[in-house]
């Protein structure tokens, strides 16, 4: 079996390939998102362009997208949440994380992708990066129990 890069667990020939080649349309926004990720992996740049809503193609860099897709090592797609985007909806949102290695090193790309249906066909409109939540640090007082689990006061243990 040739597993589909989208992570669905299905065979590529029955999962994303028919959508990328135009033999069938994505039934949901999530299916289109998975096919778009797979198109990056398989360097199917025409599909990426064609599956972008015409109102949102301005500034699309066909050559740059090809170079980036070819020179990246695609390590996986994780769908975090899908809002609407079903077979009865006209719009939807898919929050996802893509893991990859490119010239900048290992990266995670966390985005909320927006999708609209036009003439019955799902299309990508735009994406918004999801920012990391701020790290919170709990301050330990000198007389508080040490966080290492030693049952000593912080000042007598790790706070020395």
Domain segments of the chain as ranges: 17-129, 132-160
For the record, the structure tokens of 119 come out as: 């003439």
Contact in structure between 48 and 57 (CB atoms under 8 Å): no
Q: What is the pLDDT of residue 146?
A: 75
pLDDT at residue 151 is higher than 80:
no
Rounded to an integer, the average pLDDT of 107-111 is 94
Q: What is the pLDDT of residue 154?
A: 76
pLDDT at residue 137 is higher than 70:
no
Alpha carbons 22 and 47: distance in angstroms, whole number? 9
Q: What is the pLDDT of residue 52?
A: 97
Q: What class is the 17-129 domain?
A: alpha beta
| Nearest to 79, CA basis, from 158, 151, 9 | 9
pLDDT at residue 121 is higher than 70:
yes
This prediction has a pTM of 0.81
Q: Considering the chain, what is the average pLDDT of its residues?
A: 91
Contact in structure between 92 and 86 (CB atoms under 8 Å): yes
Rounded to an integer, the average pLDDT of 126-140 is 78
Task: From residue 85, give the alpha-carbon distance in Å to each of 26, 35, 45, 108.
Answer: 11, 15, 23, 24
């Amino acid at each position: 079996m040739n597993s589909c890069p989208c992570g669905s667990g299905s065979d590529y020939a029955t999962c994303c390939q028919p959508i990328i080649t135009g033999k069938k349309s994505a039934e949901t926004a999530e299916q289109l998102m998975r096919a778009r990720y797979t198109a990056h992996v398989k360097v199917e740049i025409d599909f990426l362009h064609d599956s972008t809503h015409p109102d949102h193609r301005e500034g699309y860099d066909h050559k740059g997208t090809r170079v980036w897709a070819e020179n990246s090592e695609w390590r996986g797609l994780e769908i975090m949440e899908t809002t609407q985007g079903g077979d009865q909806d006209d719009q939807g949102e898919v929050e996802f994380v893509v893991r990859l290695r490119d010239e900048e090193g290992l990266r995670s790309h966390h985005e909320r992708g927006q999708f609209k249906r036009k003439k019955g066909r799902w299309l990508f409109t735009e994406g918004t990066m999801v920012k990391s939540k701020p790290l919170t640090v709990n301050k330990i007082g000198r007389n508080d129990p040490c966080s290492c689990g030693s049952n000593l006061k912080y000042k007598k243990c790790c706070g020395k």
